[in-house]
Structures are given as C-alpha cells and as structure tokens.
C-alpha cells in the first residue's frame, strides 16, 4: 500500500528501506512523490543513487531536472552516473544551454561522449531515442566465455535479452537471444547459435516507423545501425511505449488543431499560443464558407427555410469527412496505407460516402418534404446531402495523402482543409440546386 510504503520511506530504518526497495518499482515511488511533493527530499534522500536515477528516468522529460536539483552538486554527479545514455540525452534536451552545461560537467568522460553523440541525431528518430549501453559479443567466442563476460557487463547494459554479434569494427553480424545462450553447451561456438537474419533500424528513420517495426515483430529491443551496418545502439520496448503514447497524443492534438506540447495542466499562455494560430486559420475558412453563402443571398431571401437546413448538410458532411480522415491519417501513421492499396481504399471511401449519403439523404429529404410540404425541396436537400457526403469522404482520403506527398504531417492540417471542403461544397450544392429549382420552391 502507498501509505505503508510512504511510512517506511520516511521513518523506516536504512536496512528496512534497502530490503523493501528491491521489490518496489520506481514508478510507484514516483507516484508517492507526486502526492507528497513537500516530502520529496526526505523520501529520495534515503534511497540509493541507482534507485533515484531510475525514479528520474520514470519522470516526464520536462520534470526530470526538477527532481535532480533537489540534491547537492556531488550527489547529482553520483545519480547521473547511474542513468542511461538515452535518458541523460532526454534530460539535457529539455534544458537551456547553461543548465545543460551543468549536467555535462557532472558526467564522466564516457557518458559525456555518448550523450554528445546522441544529441547530434534528430530527436524523433531511431538515433535520437536509442541507448548506447548494449551488449556486443564476438562470434569466435564460446558460450562459456560469453557467460563470464555477461557477468561483468550485463549490470551496466540497457537490456540483456538479446546479444548482438559484431566484428572488431562493430559491424553487426547477427543476434543471439539469452535463451539460446543459456540452453547451449559451454563449448558451443557463438557462431553456431547466431541468427544472421537481424531485424534492425537505420539511425535516421522516424520513431513512429521504429514503433511500427516493434509492433510487427514483437521484439523487446532492436539494434540501430548506420549506412555501413555498424551497430550504434539499441532501442528498447519501454522507449517504444513512450513513443506510441507520444505519437498518439500528437495525432489527437493536431487533428484538433492543438500543439503537440500542450498539456491539460499547462499554463494559460501556452494554451493560448497553442490554439490561437489554428483558430485564425479556421476563421479564414469560415469567411470563405460565408462568402459562398453570400453568393446565394437572393435565393435564401426567397426561401427562408433554406437557412434552417444549411447547417444539417454541412454538419453531416463534416462528420463524414472527419470519419474518413481519422481512418486514413491513422492508416498512414501505421504504414497500412500503401501505394498498392491506395486506389482500392479511395474507391471504398467514395462508396461509403455515396451509400451513407443516400441513407441520410433519404431521411432528410422526407423531413424537408414534411417541413415545407414541397417535394422539390425534399429532393434538393436529399441530393445535396448525397453529393456532400461523397465529396467529404473523398476529401478525407485525398487531403492527408496529398499532404503526406508534400512532406507535411497529415494530422497537422488535414482537419481544417476537410472542414473547408465540406462547408464550402455543402453550401454550394444545397444553395446552388435551390437556385436552379427556385421556381418550384417559391
């Protein structure tokens, strides 16, 4: 229980604390810290450096430094030595120049070199999320030699589930699972049990693509290589979980016209800066839609009921377009939409729009008829609904695909363009048809 754990951390003897933390996950202690922020120093100061390092690694990137600052300079240095290279990189990446220099000064030479190298990679790529604490072994060694080697290096490694076989130049030659190693005879050569078909990722591919590979193959770790197949580091499953969460949040935010960094408990200024630019864009598209309506002022003045039904046509088109857009954007993100199936999916979305348009058009046509007691009015709004629903699903497919071709994030701008299309065409179809058949509506 949290209450019992808190009591032990605050009042327990050192022997009791050292015994209990072996079975406690750092994330659970982090939860206690969040609920008792005024006791943060008293809680953490009684923990060993390695546990404090793990707790900091569990914290959000923007908050890691806040925990580290609780301690003295010397204590910070000891904690940093226990942190992995990828987590140190994430920490430094959130700080300003002066703060990051303070962190670098506390690193040992090896960590400083590793972090400096990791910072040269783009943040959202395989190189930017990898750790350099991997285990590489030589294929000419025996199982017995390798097990002895693992006893020395495994405690410092990011993961020991997979062992990567390299040559003297760190060129990746194969992979060996820990299970295969411990189930083989001591005198077996590593080359005899190595799998040479290694699934790896290049350092510059997007982190979302890395996540897709993890999902496809179900690995716990994956090696990161350069153009010459040199092993640079590894990406682990816990990083991928964070990436999936981050990418999903980003897509949801961007579909809603919100900056990826905005948080629910963020500042008023950040929220305004995040939302206002896209609201201005929305205002421009709304003005465009209003301009289309203005073209048909004469028609509306003669058949006032048109104004009542206009939002129905555009609103349903917007919903249909958003449905199609959501499916397509997610398909692009997961790599499910490809050049081979794009035509088939486009035709499917078109027919989804047509058939749903017919169904909804029939309902709204009946409602229009009973509302106005005019068959032509019902036909006009029914046809407008079918046309707008068809174009809505088409735009929900085409707009994100086109943006992807233009190297623009489909989740970032698609929603605004789709809404513009459905609003403008919805008004145009409905009011245009009404203008054509105005003599039957008056």
Average pLDDT over residues 333-341: 82
DSSP-derived 3-state class of residue 334: coil
- The answer as to whether 129 is a domain residue is no
Which of 105, 52, 61 is closest to 83 using CA atoms?
Answer: 52
180-237 pLDDT tens trace: 888 889 999 988 898 888 899 999 998 888 888 888 888 888 999 999 999 998 898 8
Q: Are residues 224 and 299 in the same domain?
A: no
Average pLDDT over residues 286-292: 90
Average pLDDT over residues 408-412: 75
Q: What is the DSSP secondary-structure string of 38-63?
A: GGHHHHHTTS-HHHHHHHHHHS-HHH
Count of CB atoms situated within 10 Å of the CB of 278: 18
Q: Are residues 420 and 282 in the same domain?
A: yes
What's the CA gap between 243 and 211, in Å, rounded? 7
User: Which long-range contacts does 32-39 make (Cβ < 8 Å, 24+ apart)?
Assistant: 32/2, 32/5, 32/6, 33/67, 35/2, 36/6, 39/6, 39/10
Average pLDDT over residues 49-57: 90
- The answer as to whether 153 is a domain residue is yes
Name the residue range of residue 21's domain: 2-120
Give the pLDDT band (50/70/90) at residue 395. Answer: very high
Q: Are residues 213 and 159 in the same domain?
A: yes
Give the pLDDT band (50/70/90) at residue 40. Answer: confident
Task: Output the CA torsion sign for 422, 427, 428, 433.
Answer: positive
300-330 pLDDT tens trace: 999 999 999 999 999 999 999 989 988 998 8
More confident residue, 434 or 265: 434
Q: Which residues make beta-bridge pairs with 225?
A: 202, 231
Q: Are residues 223 and 274 in the same domain?
A: no
Of the listed ranges 90-94, 302-306, 423-427, the one predicted with least confidence:
90-94
The distance of Cα 60 from the centroid of its chain, to the nearest Å, equals 15
Say what the pTM is. Answer: 0.64
What's the CA gap between 149 and 4, in Å, rounded? 40
What's the CA gap between 38 and 41, in Å, rounded? 8
Pure H helices in 256-374: 268-294, 297-302, 305-333, 342-372
Question: Which range among 52-66, 169-183, 388-402 has the greatest average pLDDT?
Answer: 388-402
More confident residue, 202 or 155: 202
pLDDT at 78: 92
pLDDT at 22: 79
Q: Are residues 157 and 218 in the same domain?
A: yes
pLDDT at 157: 65
- The answer as to whether 425 is a domain residue is yes
pLDDT at 260: 63
Average pLDDT over residues 425-439: 94
């Amino acid at each position: 229980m949290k209450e019992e754990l808190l009591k032990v951390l605050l009042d327990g003897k050192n022997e009791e604390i050292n015994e209990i933390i072996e079975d406690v996950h750092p994330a659970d202690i982090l939860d206690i810290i969040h609920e008792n922020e005024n006791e943060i120093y008293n809680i953490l100061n009684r923990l060993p450096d390695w546990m404090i390092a793990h707790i900091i690694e569990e914290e959000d990137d923007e908050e890691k430094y806040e925990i580290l600052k609780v301690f003295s300079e010397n204590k910070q240095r000891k904690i940093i030595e226990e942190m992995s290279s990828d987590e140190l990189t994430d920490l430094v990446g959130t700080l300003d120049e002066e703060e990051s220099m303070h962190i670098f000064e506390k690193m040992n030479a090896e960590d400083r070199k590793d972090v400096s190298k990791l910072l040269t990679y783009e943040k959202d790529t395989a190189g930017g999320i990898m750790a350099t604490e991997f285990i590489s072994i030589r294929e000419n060694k025996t199982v017995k030699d390798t097990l002895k080697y693992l006893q020395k290096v495994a405690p410092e490694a990011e993961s020991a589930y997979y062992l990567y076989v390299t040559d003297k130049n760190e060129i990746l030659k194969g992979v060996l699972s820990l299970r295969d190693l411990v189930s083989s005879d001591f005198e077996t050569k590593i080359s005899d049990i190595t799998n040479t078909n290694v699934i790896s990722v290049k350092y510059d591919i997007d982190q979302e693509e890395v996540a897709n590979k993890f999902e496809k193959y179900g690995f716990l770790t994956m090696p990161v290589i350069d153009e010459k197949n040199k092993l640079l580091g590894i990406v682990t499953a816990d990083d991928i979980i964070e990436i999936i969460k981050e990418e999903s949040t980003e897509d949801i935010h961007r579909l809603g016209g919100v900056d990826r960094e905005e948080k629910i408990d963020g500042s008023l200024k950040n929220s305004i800066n995040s939302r206002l630019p896209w609201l201005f864009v929305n205002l421009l598209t709304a003005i465009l839609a209003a301009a289309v309506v203005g073209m048909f002022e004469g028609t509306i003045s003669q058949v006032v009921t048109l104004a009542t039904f206009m939002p129905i046509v555009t609103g349903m088109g917007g919903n249909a377009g958003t449905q199609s857009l959501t499916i397509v954007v997610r398909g692009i993100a997961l790599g499910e939409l490809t050049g081979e199936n794009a035509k088939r999916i486009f035709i499917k979305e078109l027919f989804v729009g047509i058939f749903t348009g017919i169904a909804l058009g029939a309902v709204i046509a009946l409602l229009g008829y009973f509302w106005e007691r005019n068959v032509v009015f019902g036909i006009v709004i029914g046809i407008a609904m079918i046309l707008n629903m068809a174009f809505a699903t088409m735009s929900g497919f085409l707009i994100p695909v086109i943006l992807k071709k233009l190297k623009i994030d489909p989740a970032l701008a698609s929603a605004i363009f789709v809404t513009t299309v459905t609003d403008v065409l919805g008004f145009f179809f409905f009011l245009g048809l009404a203008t054509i058949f105005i003599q039957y509506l008056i």
